[in-house]
Structure formats: structure tokens, C-alpha cells
Amino acid sequence: MIHVVTPYGRRGPSSRVRVFEWLDRTSFDHVLSSYLAHSNSSPAHLLRHPVAVLNAERRLRRMATEGSELLWLHREASPLSRGALERKLFAGASFAVYDFDDALHVDWGTGGLYRRLAPKAPKAHLAVRSADRVVAGNAVLADWASQHNDDVVIIPSCVSPASYRQKTDYAVGDPPRLGWIGSPDNEAFLLLLEPSLREVHRRTGARLTLVGTSRPRLGDLESIIDRMPWSEAAQYDRLSEFDVALAPLPDDPYSRGKCGYRLLQYGAAAVPAVGSPVGVNERILDEFGMPAAEDDRDWTEAILDLLARPADAREALGRTALTVVERGYSYDAWQPRWEDAVGVGAPVRTP
């Protein structure tokens, strides 16, 4: 029996990718605690559900007291904890695994009062030191974790290519269709591209489809945006409609720890893409054979170049990306090593 602890429900991107998708593919007995089973743990949501918060805190403390044979804790147990609860959960387990996929160790809670009172970094530092094994989403995170724990394994944030509708028609649309998928918190990254997006629109009439939220929040850029609410069905079915997909990131310590999941989704849909060479994005773009862009000129030229390429050249890019994802970033490719990493198989190390 393995006790699985994660801060979000299935609609939370990190928990869905790192926890629920794996549980869908395994048959071992488990007990799942996903706090409020919601997509986020914002103060507003917690305040609206005080009874559920109290029950979640009681459930986690009971789990810590009773102990467990195997514990797999993703990111944090409670958004209200400063680390003591996570430490108790680890101490009560015969074998405890801590899994993380963002640079939580540099998140010291800038912003509002709630973020300053319960920052992510202290919990991440404590969890990495306390766990028997750490599962990191990429080499950047693993390098940091290895300074505090001798047993660190890399398991990327995987995708399931078979779930995605792959692109088959590589003729550029009229108007051309640029695309992006992600959470509302990350939409602001697109503002980094505003001059480039406006220039591409001026030259080609291209529009930008956002699969995320229907709420406009990008100012004047909304004039060339078409919005589509996120759903699991939309993420699997609609990416193949993009002519060129976009994966911008700011170059800062937190973004350098991201796992490149957006690019992997584009690859699973066999869509040509442009991305920022930040963190693991740089490696993924190189493996895909797709352009990396660092400034306005790079982005403008890269997008225009991909739109101008013949259909067969664009198809070759998409098919290469799909093959890379299938072989190196899919759940099927990583399942044996994941099962070993969380303690349900014999210990191995990621090559």
C-alpha cells in the first residue's frame, strides 16, 4: 500500500501530470489525499471552504500519526504548512518519496501576505532533506536536490502521445493560426512576445488561439486573440489546429526549473513550435530541431520562417518532435523507472 499526497485535484496541472496520470496507469493499492481536490489552493478558495480545509488538515495529521509503509508526496501536503506537517508525514513512513517539478526552492513568497506567510521554499528545502528519495522533474531541479539528498532520481513530466490528435494537414491556414496552451497564471508570458506577435499579425494576418481561460487579461493583445477554455478534451484535440505553437518563458531562476511540459504537448500533437531556450526548454527544442528565440527579432523571424516553410518541411518537424516525445518523454517509456523510483519496484537510477 502506498499513500499518495498531492496539493491539488486532477484539474491542477502539476498534480494531473505528476500524480493522477501515473495512477491511471498502475494497479498497486494506494490511498490518495489531494487536499481539497481542487485545481489550486488560492486564499480565496480556501476561505470559501473552511470546513473542507479543516477536514483536510485533520486527515493529513491522522495520516502522519498512523504512518505508512510507502509515502509519495508531491510538492506539498498542505498550503497552510510551513514544513512541520510534511516532516511528520516523512518521519511516519517506512520509505518516503518527495516529487517536485518546479523550482519551489527559490519561491520565497513574494507578493501578498498569504504568500509571505506560507512560502514554498522552506517546505521544499525541508522535504528534500527529509525524504528517503527525491524524484525531480529535470536535471536543473535534480542538481539542486543532490546538494541535500544522496538519492535523487530524474523522472520528466511525461505526456501520452496516443491521447493527442496529431496534426495531419500542414498547409498554413488563412489566416495563419498561432497557438498557446497553459494556466491563467502563465498567460502573462505571452506579453513578452507582444511586439513580435503584432509584427507577425501585420505581415500575415495571423491570429493567436489560447487554450486556457475565457477571461481576457492580456490588454491590447486581445484584439488578435481567440480564447478557448481549457479542458482535458481540448488539450488533446485542439493543439493540432495550430500552425505554429508558442512556448515563451522569462529567463529567471523559477522558470529555469520548469519541465518543458508545454513543448512536450506540442510535440505529442506533432505541431511545429518556437520556444524560449530557458532551462530544459533549450534541450527539448534542440531534440525537436525547432527554433529557439531570445528576443523580439528572434521570435518574429522564427515564427515567420515556420509559417513560410513548405508543408512537407513543416510535417517533418512535427513528426520528428512526435518521435522524440514517444521515445523520451512518454508515460510508456518511463513507467518502469517511475515505478522503481516511487518504491514499488527494485531501485534503479536514471541514466
Spell out the per-residue pLDDT of the chain, length 351, in tens.
Answer: 899 999 999 989 999 999 999 999 988 889 999 999 888 888 888 999 999 999 999 999 999 999 999 999 999 999 998 889 999 999 999 999 999 999 999 998 766 666 666 788 999 999 999 999 999 999 999 999 999 999 999 999 999 999 999 999 999 999 999 999 998 889 999 999 999 999 999 999 999 999 998 889 999 999 999 999 999 899 999 999 999 999 999 999 999 999 999 999 999 999 999 999 999 999 999 999 999 999 999 999 999 999 999 999 999 999 999 999 999 999 999 999 999 998 875 443 343
Which amino acid does the sequence have at 300? T
Return all residues near 53 (Cβ < 8 A) that are at least 6 apart.
36, 46, 80
What is the spatial distance between Cα 3 and Cα 258, in angstroms, rounded to a whole number?
A: 26
What is the spatial distance between Cα 45 and Cα 11, in angstroms, rounded to a whole number?
A: 14
Find residue 73's DSSP bridge partners.
Answer: 5, 98
What is the spatial distance between Cα 58 and Cα 56, in angstroms, rounded to a whole number?
A: 5
Query: Domains (ranges, CATH) in the chain?
Result: 2-156+331-341 (3.40.50), 161-328 (3.40.50.2000)
**CB burial class (10 A; 0-12, 13-18, 19+) of residue 52?**
middle
User: Taking the model in full, what pTM does it have?
Assistant: 0.93
